[in-house]
A and B are shown apart, each in its own frame.
Chain A
Amino acid sequence: MKLDFSHEFSLIVSSFQKAGASRNIFLDSQIPGIIVEGNSVLAKSEHKGLKIKTRKIKEGVEMKIYLDNGVKMEKPVHLCFGLMAKKGRQVIKAEFFIGKKSKINFISHCSFPFPQGVDHFMKAKVHLAEGAEMNYQEEHYHSSTGKIFVWPKTEIFLKKGAKFSEEFKLIKGRVGKLKIEYFTYQEDKSSSFFLTKIYGKKNDKIDIQETIHLDKRGAKGIAESRLVLIEKARGDIFGEIVAQGAYAQGHLDCQEIVQGEAIASSTPKIIVKHPLAKITHEASIGRINKKELETLIVHGLTQRQAVNFIVQGLLK
Chain B
Amino acid sequence: MRKKLLVLKDIFYQTNGRVILKQINFSLLKGEIHSIIGLNGAGKTSLANLIMGLEGYSPTRGKIIFENRDITKLSLYQRAKLGIALAWQRPAYFEGISVEEYLSLKKSKISPADCLKKVGLNPALYLKRIINEELSGGERKRIELASLIPLEPKLVILDEPDSGIDANSLEIIYLLIKDFKRKGISVLLITHNQKTTFISDRVSLLCNGEIIKQGQPGEIGLFFKKYCQTCNHIGKINKKILRQ
Contact = CB atoms under 8 A, between A and B. Distances in A.
A19 to B, nearest CB: 20
A5 interface: no
A261 interface: no
A299 B81 CA distance: 9
Interface in B93-122: 93-97, 101, 105-106
A290 interface: yes
A300 B94 contact: no
A314 B97 CA distance: 8
B55 A290 contact: yes
B88 interface: yes
B106 A300 contact: yes
Interface centre among A291, A298, A299, A303 (most CB of B within 10 A): A298
Contacts of B94: 292, 310, 313
A192 to B, nearest CB: 24
A314 B93 CA distance: 11
A303 B105 contact: no
B151 A291 contact: no
B77 interface: yes
B92 interface: yes
Nearest to B105: A299
Given A300-B106, A303-B77, A295 B88 contact: yes
A292 B92 contact: yes
A294 interface: yes
Nearest to A311: B96
A314 B86 CA distance: 24
Contacts of B85: 298-299
A291 B151 CA distance: 18
Nearest to A315: B96
B95 A297 contact: no
B97 A309 contact: yes
Interface residues of A, number: 21
Interface string A280-316: 0000000001111011111111110000011011111
A171 to B, nearest CB: 11
A289 B92 contact: yes
A224 B163 CA distance: 38
Nearest to B54: A294
B157 to A, nearest CB: 9
Contacts of A289: 92
Given A294-B54, A294-B55, A296-B105, A302 B77 contact: yes
B96 A314 contact: yes
B86 A298 contact: yes
A56 B231 CA distance: 85
B52 interface: yes
A289 B97 CA distance: 15
B95 A291 contact: no
B76 A297 contact: yes
A298 B96 contact: no
B88 A297 contact: no
B91 interface: yes
B146 to A, nearest CB: 12
Nearest to A290: B55
Given A290-B55, A294-B55, A299 B76 contact: no
Ordered nearest first, which 4 A-B pairs have the shortest CB separation? Answer: A313-B96, A316-B96, A313-B97, A291-B92
Interface of B: 52, 54-55, 76-77, 80-81, 85-86, 88, 91-97, 101, 105-106, 147, 151
16 contacts: A290-B55, A292-B93, A294-B92, A297-B76, A297-B80, A298-B80, A299-B151, A300-B80, A300-B81, A301-B105, A303-B77, A313-B95, A313-B96, A314-B95, A314-B96, A316-B96
Given A298-B52, A313-B95, A313-B96, 8 more contacts: A292-B94, A294-B92, A295-B91, A297-B76, A297-B80, A298-B85, A298-B86, A313-B97
